[in-house]
């Protein structure tokens, strides 16, 4: 069975800044039924974005934001409620994976945030990069995280960065099961700094990865940067995933 597909708006941030409505309209025309948004939307206010998404019938099931703690708590929760966001994503930085103690401090903050969002009926997902898979005191930082996080915290597995970090994304999504409801889908040479390419044109084995993700609910295309025209790559990524029967759009 194929999974629904979404586009992370960070992918087209430059295009949004130049012409928000035209870019989002093109994304909808390609066939994407949903977006994963960010709390700061280039080229539009939140209210303007809400109107455009509604007019185009675009869902916003997930979003990236700061952790809803301290003075950010109300703003993040209001943002999630405004767009009907079901899952909030968050990433830690490489410095937070320097020692076991720094990982413990990060996980403590994530657990505190989880209690906040869970009370509002929202899921909290940790989004990985490659640095979680470096060794910390002879263990993978990601494995230390798994032990320290509340079991209710889920993962937005960036399959590309898993491979860049030297791990097997197929094995990881299979291991996480229902704890990996969101998959970030990107392609390229699986290196830290080289540009990416349209999904299906790089080294990633998505016909193996996606079926192994038995708990996945959404496939979210995200290209941080691209060796070709970004909008062309967004289109080609959609066509590959739907054409291979791995995802479905509108």
Q: How confident is the model at residue 50 (pLDDT cuts 50, 70, 90)?
A: very high
pLDDT at 78: 97
Residue 140 burial (C-beta neighbours within 10 Å; 0-12, 13-18, 19+): middle
pLDDT at 107: 98
pLDDT at 209: 98
CA atoms of 153 and 193, how far apart (whole Å)? 29
Residue 190, number of CB atoms within 10 A of its CB: 21
Q: How confident is the model at residue 4 (pLDDT cuts 50, 70, 90)?
A: very high
DSSP 107: H
Determine the average pLDDT of the residues in 47-57.
98
pLDDT at 43: 97
Q: How confident is the model at residue 26 (pLDDT cuts 50, 70, 90)?
A: very high
Residue with tokens 């979404």: 6
pLDDT at 1 over 90: no
Strand partners, 89: 64, 125
Are residues 102 and 53 in contact, defined by beta-carbon separation less than 8 angstroms? no
pLDDT at 62: 98
pLDDT at 14: 97
The structural domains of the chain, ordered by start, are 3-248 (3.20.20.150)
pLDDT digits (tens, 9 = 90+) for 133-175: 999 999 999 999 999 999 999 999 999 999 999 999 999 999 9
pTM above 0.85? yes
Determine the average pLDDT of the residues in 51-75.
98
Run of H or E including 38: strand 34-38
| Percent of the chain residues past pLDDT 90, beyond the cut | 99
Sign of the dihedral defined by the CA atoms of residues 173, 176, 180, 184, in that order: negative
pLDDT at 202 over 80: yes
């Amino acid at each position: 069975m194929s999974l629904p597909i979404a586009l992370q708006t960070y992918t087209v941030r430059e295009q949004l800044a130049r012409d928000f409505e035209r870019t989002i309209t093109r994304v909808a025309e390609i066939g994407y039924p949903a977006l994963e948004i960010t709390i700061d939307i280039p080229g539009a206010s939140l209210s303007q974005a809400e109107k455009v998404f509604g007019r185009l019938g675009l869902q916003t099931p997930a979003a990236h934001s700061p952790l809803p703690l301290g003075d950010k708590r109300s703003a993040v929760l209001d943002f999630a409620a405004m767009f009907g966001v079901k899952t909030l994503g968050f990433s830690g930085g490489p410095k937070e994976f320097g020692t076991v103690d720094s990982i413990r401090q990060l996980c403590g903050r994530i657990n505190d945030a989880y209690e906040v969002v869970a009370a509002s009926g929202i899921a909290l997902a940790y989004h990985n990069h490659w640095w979680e898979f470096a060794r910390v005191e002879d263990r993978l930082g990601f494995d230390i995280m798994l032990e320290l996080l509340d079991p209710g915290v889920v993962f937005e597995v960036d399959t590309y960065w898993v491979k860049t970090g030297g791990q097997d994304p197929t094995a990881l999504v299979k291991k996480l099961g229902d704890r990996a409801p969101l998959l970030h889908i990107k392609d390229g040479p699986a290196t830290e700094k080289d540009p990416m390419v349209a999904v299906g044109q790089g080294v990633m084995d998505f016909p193996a990865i996606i079926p192994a993700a038995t708990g996945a609910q959404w496939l979210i295309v995200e290209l941080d940067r691209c060796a070709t025209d970004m909008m062309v790559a967004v289109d080609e990524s959609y066509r590959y995933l739907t054409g291979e029967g791995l995802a479905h759009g509108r």
